[in-house]
Amino acid sequence: MITKPFVCVLLAMCAADAPAAAAEPSCVTVREGWVRLPPGSAPMAAGYGVIHNGCKAPVTVVAAGSKAFGEVSLHETTLVNGVSRMRAVERLPIAPNASVALKPGGLHLMLMQPEVPLKNGGEVPLRLSLEHGRKIDAMLIIRADAPRSPAR
């Protein structure tokens, strides 16, 4: 049958393109990522950083995860009538060549159920899932205190 040779050639062509695609640098990055060291053995921590979309098209973050935590999600803290409220963020769209800051008192990562001991200076792996299946990996530094903003 002619179908089998055609499928084999098609698979070989896809396999040849796979290393090039895998080697291509991601246009979505996480910079200045950090996790606030929780007090004692608290069951949750918060993560921060800057997600930058250097792509030519918009992207949407639809999930987050980490091998160091049982559950990771995006949240936003807002002030409503003088009361601080937090809500889950299901989708985080980022325009082309734009950045979104995850910071205390605003958008942030909720890192729940730590699966490893957290210590100052340690690292936490982070994986962001984008719409359409792309994954972005980053490392967050564990810090006892927030980093100082650079002088401008």
For 118-141, write each residue's pLDDT tens digit.
999 999 999 999 999 999 999 999
Q: Note the pTM of the prediction, 2 decimals.
A: 0.79
Q: Report the amino acid identity of residue 81.
A: N
| pLDDT at residue 150 in the model | 54
Report the pLDDT averaged over residues 61-74: 97
Those residues whose C-beta lies under 8 Å from the C-beta of residue 60, and which sit 6 or more positions away, are: 91, 92, 93, 94, 130, 131
Report the pLDDT averaged over residues 74-95: 93
21-53 residue pLDDT tens? 333 458 999 999 999 999 887 899 999 999 999
Q: How many angstroms separate the CA atoms of 68 and 35, rounded? A: 12
Q: How many angstroms separate the CA atoms of 74 and 71, rounded? A: 10
Residue 151 banded pLDDT, cuts 50, 70, 90? very low
